[in-house]
Amino acid sequence: MSTPRIPDELRRAVAADLKPVRPLPAPWVRAAEVGVWAAAALLLVPALFGVRDDAAALGLLMTWGAGIAEVAAGLLVVAVAMAEGIPGGGLSPLRRGLALLGGVAVQVGVAVLTWMRAPAGGDAAAHGGASCFAMQGMLGLPALALAVWLLVRALPVRPRWAGALAGLGAGLVADGVWHLACPVCDLGHVLVWHGGATVAMTLAGFLLGALWERRRLSRLR
């Protein structure tokens, strides 16, 4: 049985389309690009809004330490999202679920520890929760947009999962940064408004991944 001969025109078309491909950077390298925005936000937010009023009572560890730790956790989750863009790679469903739960645990842990360390009457400086939600959205959207752009360039196999993880990472980064400025230690405020902003970022990332997946499938058809 002879093998069908490939037409010369097809050979020439394929040869003309061949281009060198630059290797995909490691997930932590791509997450570091989001880290540039996170570092800039850590410098700009305290400069523009000031450090929270109860910073002296909370101490350096629960102010700057907690905020930076949450930003680092967010970048780690973004790196996990970037791993979803490696052909044949990515994490198992269990590990993806653990990454999501771990990110949530970090934000809740920071909220609880800050509340436990809060000085008596420290919540008198409380301000509207909607403003915190909006500020975290403004801080998180650039990180999410950059992360999704990096994911799309890598052609993720599971774009919805990758988008959700990127959204969670961006939400954690935003919450860590805003932790330095928000003067409210009340647990209800932080869990509802700060946590709600992170949930919204996670859902936004999931929806962006779903839209990109739908668009890619429509093109293939």
Tell me the mean pLDDT in the region 145-163. Answer: 88
108 against 10, higher pLDDT: 108
Question: For position 183, what pLDDT does the model report?
Answer: 85
State pLDDT tens for residues 86-121.
766 667 788 888 989 999 999 999 999 999 988 654
Structure-token match 């281009």, residue found: 19
Q: How far apart are the first and last CA of the chain?
A: 33
Say if 17 falls within a structural domain.
Answer: no
Question: For position 124, what pLDDT does the model report?
Answer: 45
> 136: phi > 0 → left, psi -120 to 50 → alpha, else beta; which?
alpha
Whether residue 171 is predicted with pLDDT greater than 70 in this model: the reply is yes
Mean pLDDT of the chain: 86
CA distance 125 to 183: 6
**Cβ–Cβ < 8 Å for 129, 192:** yes
Say if 16 falls within a structural domain.
Answer: no
Whether residue 200 is predicted with pLDDT greater than 90 in this model: the reply is yes
For the chain, how many structural domains are there in total? Answer: 1
Say if 71 falls within a structural domain.
Answer: yes
Tell me the mean pLDDT in the region 5-19. Answer: 70
Say if 19 falls within a structural domain.
Answer: no
Question: For position 155, what pLDDT does the model report?
Answer: 78
Q: Where are the beta strands (DSSP E) in the chain?
A: none
pLDDT band at 123 (very low <50, low <70, confident <90, very high): low
Q: SS3 breakdown of the chain: % helix, strand, coil, rounded to 5?
A: 75, 0, 25
Nearest-5° Cα angle at 76, 48 to 98: 125
Say if 85 falls within a structural domain.
Answer: yes
Q: Give the domain extent around 171.
A: 41-220
Tell me the mean pLDDT in the region 1-8. Answer: 64
